[in-house]
Amino acid sequence: MSNLLKLTWVETKLYLREPGIYFGLAFPLVLLLVFGTIYGNAPNAFLGGRGSLDFYLPAYIAMLMIANTCYSLPMTLINYRERGVLFRLQATPLRPWMILGSQLGVNMLMTTLGALLLVVAGRLFYNVHVTISMLSVFLAFLLGMLSIFSIGFLIASIVPNTRIAPIVGTLLFFAMLYLSGATVPLKLYPQPVQQIAEFIPPTHVIRLLQNIWFGASWLDYGADILVLIGVLFVCAFASSKLFRWR
Amino acid sequence: MTRKAVIQVEHLRKTYGPVVAVDDISFEVYQGEIFGMVGPNGAGKTSTVECIEGLRMADGGSIRVSGYDPYKDRYAMRAHIGVQLQMAALPERIKVWEALDLFSSFYPHRVNLDALLEQVGLTEKRNARFANLSGGQKQRLFIALALTHDPEVVFLDELTTGLDPQVRRTMWDMVRKMRERGKTVFLITHSMEEAERLCDRVAIVDGGRIVALDAPDHLISRLGSEMRVIFTVDGAPCLEKLRTLENVTDVRQVNDRVILSGKGDALLSSVVAALLENGIRFRDLHTERATLEDVFLQTTGRAIRD
């Protein structure tokens, strides 16, 4: 266990030395500040009486997950495999699950940090809705991360090298960003697109977070929870079969 | 005196689909020796060693490392071995001391890391990032990483490939020091020179099999012609007289160079005497000792150069 923590700590330092990372962490925060400044957080009938930031904050949190699962997580693993880092780590007494677990750990840690920044900034500047149901929100957030990050492991298992990784990552990033309601409310899309959105896992993360945030019951969103758990199991199983260490 | 075997390999076999990397290899490595495995690229050295390190599963035969089955007990075994891999890397932005600190944390006990840094000459590079190290510095860091936990057996795969001669010698001294401290060193190399200089015993591998295994000087003396006399002549003098000399095994002339092979301490003086006696004018005369390269040539019929 201490091995896992040590490896995760070192990986966290390495994550923070990656210049692209700040973009990933800062981008949703910048969106929050820009749109917060332009539109404020006044109650909006179109959004069911919530402020636009109340509505978008969960989406920005999902955006952090999408960025990490399309870029940071798979790129690091593919780079490590290509260059022989994974192979070198394998020659130590480290268990394989610790090597992968540290990548999951660092991405969860950084996403949580980014989400906290968003919530604190939203609360400080725009009085975003924060309630005692935040514990529930946190649980939904954890489930969302595990589910979305399992996609990153699958990408790392399928994509063969670092030349292809950015292409695949970028395609998936924009697909997940625009088809999940992270940027544009799904209600504004035509019906067929809304149906496609149901196949995009972050859609369910955003719906779950947006509603749990306002005290909705978990039971009402059982379908979203099942989809996220399903994605987690399918991706984790497929990754365990397809992942190559070198 | 029977020596304790720390590595025992019996009838090892490893295939990748239709490709037979290791055909049938058996040997033992004794505690406290520098054991070398040499051979051309693709001979099966790295596959053999990766099976011993538990990084690949053997298709046949059995292996024991300090009593462990290297595949089944791989995590327990790895606490006792140190590994420098040929195809390895570290994260680009990791600092030298971070890498050492991280790797040493995987093992139950660790050596003094500052002393280790000093030993491999990387004290000044302590805070440098991996990506900013030169090839030689990276190599030295990998060697240090193999030693953080004071392992009983150290595997060094292509230890000095790509290093300049001075660093090479420093590495060789380090390996000898490990032996002095009772450690077992398993060296994988395609450099015959390195094997000859450094190893107590050498296994020459070719086509997935061991074609010779002994101390380097035994292997060389068994050749029957451990010395070559080389000189330049003008024209095409009659060299038949030289062939009949005692201890001469072969005389070849390539253009104006004559290469005479033979053995024994008296070879040189008898050759020179015969040249003078027969009035053969010669220049640039020098001798060469036979090397493992010649052993390889004789046992496989091929030069090791790939």
Query: In terms of domains, do B169 and B263 share one?
Result: no
B302 in a domain, yes or no?
no
Please give the pLDDT value at position A132. Answer: 67
Query: In terms of domains, do B158 and B271 share one?
Result: no
B303 in a domain, yes or no?
no
CATH number at residue B135: 3.40.50.300
Burial class (CB in 10 A: 0-12, 13-18, 19+), A191: exposed
Please give the pLDDT value at position B304. Answer: 60
**What's the mean pLDDT in A120-148?**
90
Query: In terms of domains, do B157 and B231 share one?
Result: no
Q: Residues A47, A48, A52, CA angle at the centre, nearest 5°?
A: 35
Sort out which chain B residues have CB atoms less than 8 A from A246's CB and list them.
87
Which percentage of chain A shows pLDDT scores above 90? Answer: 74
Please say if the pLDDT value at position A23 is more than 80.
Answer: no
The 10s digit of each residue's pLDDT in B121-174 is 899 999 999 999 998 899 889 999 999 999 999 999 988 877 788 888 888 998
Query: In terms of domains, do B72 and B182 share one?
Result: yes
Give every CB contact of residue A190 below 8 A, 6+ residues apart in sequence.
none
B103 in a domain, yes or no?
yes
> Residue B82 belongs to what domain range?
5-217
The residue count for chain A: 246
Please say if the pLDDT value at position B109 is more than 70.
Answer: yes
Closest CA to A183 of A69, A33, A28: A28
Which percentage of chain B shows pLDDT scores above 70? Answer: 98
Predicted-complex ipTM score: 0.90
The 10s digit of each residue's pLDDT in A153-210 is 999 999 999 999 999 999 999 999 999 988 888 888 999 999 999 999 999 999 999 9
Which percentage of chain A shows pLDDT scores above 70? Answer: 100
Query: Hey, are the CB atoms on B106 and A13 less than 8 Å from each other?
Result: no
Please give the pLDDT value at position A55. Answer: 87
Q: Is A5's Cβ below 8 Å from some Cβ in B? A: no
B304 in a domain, yes or no?
no
Query: Hey, are the CB atoms on A95 and B102 less than 8 Å from each other?
Result: no
The pair of three-digit structure tokens given for residue A77, joined into one six-digit string:
């693993």
Query: In terms of domains, do B158 and B236 share one?
Result: no
Best residue of A15, A88, A95, A103 to probe chain B, by most B CBs closer than 10 Å: A88
Query: In terms of domains, do B177 and B52 share one?
Result: yes
Q: Within the 30-69 window of chain A, which residues sit less than 8 Å (CB to CB) from chain B?
A: none
Give the whole-angstrom CA distance, residue A58 versus residue A183.
11
Query: Hey, are the CB atoms on A3 and B105 less than 8 Å from each other?
Result: yes
**What's the mean pLDDT in B189-212?**
92
Using CB atoms, pick whichever of A84, A91, A94 lies closest to residue B89: A84
Q: What amino acid occupies position B46?
A: T
The pair of three-digit structure tokens given for residue B221, joined into one six-digit string:
């003396």
Using CB atoms, pick whichever of B55, B93, B145 lies closest to residue A14: B93
Listed residues B189, B217, B245: the one ending a domain: B217
Residues B45 and B37 sit within 8 Å (Cβ to Cβ): yes
Q: Within the 79-118 window of chain A, which residues sit less than 8 Å (CB to CB) from chain B?
A: 80, 83-85, 87-88, 90-95
Please say if the pLDDT value at position B306 is more than 50.
Answer: no
Query: Hey, are the CB atoms on A92 and B85 less than 8 Å from each other?
Result: no
Q: Taking the model in full, what pTM does it have?
A: 0.88
Listed residues B217, B250, B280: the one ending a domain: B217
Give the whole-angstrom CA distance, residue B203 versus residue B226.
19
Please give the pLDDT value at position B267. Answer: 86
Using CB atoms, pick whichever of A17, A83, A93 lies closest to residue B93: A17
